[in-house]
A and B are shown apart, each in its own frame.
Chain A
Amino acid sequence: MKRRNFLKKAALTTAGSIAFPYILPSGRLFAGSGNPPMAEHVVFVLFAGGVRQQEAIEKRYLAESQNLDIEGNIMYNMLTGDEPELKIVYGTTTPGGQPGGQPISPILQTPLDQQGTLFKEVRFSSAGTGHFTGLSTGVSGYYGTTQGLQQRPLHPTIFEYARRYGGFDATDVWFIGNGIGNSTPLLNHSEHRDYGWEYGANFFAPNITFGMEGQEHLKGFKSFHPEEELEPIEQMRHFLNQNFLQNGGRIPHLNNTEDEKEDIKAFIKEVFARQEAGQLVFPPVTDNGDLSTMGYATEILRWFKPKLTVINMSAVDSCHSSYTNYLQSLHRADHGVGFLWNYIQTQIPEMANNTVMMVMPEHGRNLEPNGILDENDWVAYDHDSDANSRRIFTMMVGPGIDGGLELGSEANPVGDAADVVPTIAEVLGFKNEVLNSGLLHSEAKSLFDQI
């Protein structure tokens, strides 16, 4: 009888394992239903607050904006092309005191467009070209046309897909914001009922966490001894929390394990210590928030070696009121990307040659100026959902990605802002799960499928 039962159970188990693959606690199917990963790490740079194609991909400098016949490439870490020769305002101050007159030296010997694939004309095809909508689309692959500004994305983010289908830990997935404005801190997870906080990304706005506010109110926080203090504290807190369980209320969190929580605290301490010792590594020129964000981002990469990191920059949004500052910020955003890629390849052995980097503006900018003049009497540009503000580009570089390949033109765009999410999913090996979720923009597809 026992033997018969055993055989019966064994047969059922075998049949079950074929019919219903084992589901990991992360929610991922044990049976590999996705594609094999192309790389172990992805870094996605949201670049960098609304960029016009004219000054970026088209390298037109002042020619398409200020009625001045001066062209040139001010993003020479990312793009191939000669820099402008006249009216140089985008660099640092020259020894002679000319503001912006000294271009920042390139970091990469070979521009990224030669190392990787450039989708020159991508479309932000739906919804308004606002920052939060753009960022939300970039991380969720879904145009939230009904998305509130102070509301988490309605559809899951790539962070949640990565943790749920990639089986990644909380500290494997990071969103690094350049600040806490524009609802940026809300982008680390959606409020979708099947995903949400338990699959969310860890988040820092490091210019604040490690800036003046953090130095005053965080630096030097008490570290409890792991066995003598922390263990009893956790026991006592567990008792308190158990007694409150009936109410169901929890302090919002991201499902970091206790070890991960302590690791993050140790990281915070380490950054403050390195900061005090002058050991933090920043881009050679770090004179705006985007570049200091990039420096702190490399600290996060070095410590956690995340599987997925999304970094948000936004300084070029100064274009609303100052075209000169826009050019300076665009030049610096390129400097930051060059620094980041170089740092990954030379300073983090675990990520070198094993990381795919993607770069995409969250949206473009208007064709027509808004009439505001800056110190050079140059006109400024907003982003009001005109056709020009829907023009963006996407660049990707890393293992398995063709070098020197360019696709798309203004008349024949290839790619959409919503395509980054399935593309990242393909790199990390869970594209099918993401596509099958039914929660992406209806036209979204991996950029690899459009080459």
Chain B
Amino acid sequence: MRLYTIILFSFLFVLPACKEKTYYYEVNEIEVEPNNSGKTKQKSVEQFINIAYANLNQQALSPDQLVDITNVITSIGDKQIAFETVIAKMITNPDISIPTESEMRTDIGLFVTETYKRFYVRLPTEAEKTFWINYIESHPTVTPEMVYFSFATSDEYYFY
């Protein structure tokens, strides 16, 4: 009887403390990205310009250029107009890093996911992804440049 008690206690207290089991339920591992609900702070003009330039060109803006572009934006009262014109100028830069149209249309889902990650630092929801795939498929004249411009001048892009 004493022997059984010892064995029982060994199972109950000793063995579970020694080894932790990992259970797998056949769910893929995913990297969790923030959604847009946490974006409540406005970027400063400097932050906006720095990030937009980096997103479009995949390289950093020089400090002198940052000051100049910030001044230009400050000199225009309506910031929507200021951002749209400055971004519209940035996309005329020949060094801009934008996927080609064939790259976009070869795998629209991937293009949409990468665009959300690049501009919004998050993954698209399924509803968003569905919208974009349908929209791009049904609008053959839409280019990656137009999509990028839409993202870079949208409200969510101004917040973090």
Contacts and interface: CB of A to CB of B under 8 A. Distances in A.
Given A220-B89, A221-B92, A222-B88, A251 B77 contact: no
Contacts of A256: 78, 80-81
Contacts of B159: 244, 247, 249
Interface residues of B, number: 43
Interface in B111-131: 128, 131
A161 interface: no
Interface of B: 36-37, 39-40, 42, 65, 68-69, 71-72, 74-81, 83-86, 88-89, 91-92, 128, 131, 135, 139, 141-142, 146-147, 149-151, 153-156, 158-159
Contacts, number: 147
Interface stretch (A98-106, A210-218, A402-410, A437-445): A210-218
Please give me the 8 A-B residue pairs with the lowest Cβ-Cβ distance, nearest first: A203-B77, A208-B75, A205-B75, A221-B89, A236-B150, A221-B88, A240-B154, A244-B156
Interface of A: 170, 175, 177, 180, 185, 188, 200-206, 208-209, 212-214, 216-224, 228-229, 232-233, 235-237, 239-241, 243-244, 246-247, 249-254, 256, 261, 264-265, 268
A244 B69 CA distance: 26
B154 A208 contact: no
Given A213-B72, A256-B81, A264-B81, A249 B92 contact: no
Nearest to B158: A251
A241 B89 contact: no
Greatest chain A CB density within 10 A among B37, B88, B149, B150 is at B150
Contacts of A253: 78-81
Contacts of B86: 217-218, 221
Given A217-B65, A221-B89, A249-B42, 17 more contacts: A200-B77, A209-B76, A213-B69, A218-B89, A222-B92, A223-B88, A224-B146, A228-B141, A232-B146, A233-B150, A241-B154, A241-B156, A243-B36, A246-B37, A247-B39, A251-B83, A253-B79
24 contacts: A175-B77, A180-B71, A202-B77, A205-B75, A209-B76, A217-B68, A220-B89, A222-B91, A224-B88, A224-B146, A232-B139, A232-B141, A232-B146, A235-B135, A240-B154, A243-B156, A249-B156, A251-B80, A253-B78, A256-B80, A256-B81, A261-B80, A261-B81, A264-B81
Given A217-B86, A251-B158, A244 B36 contact: yes
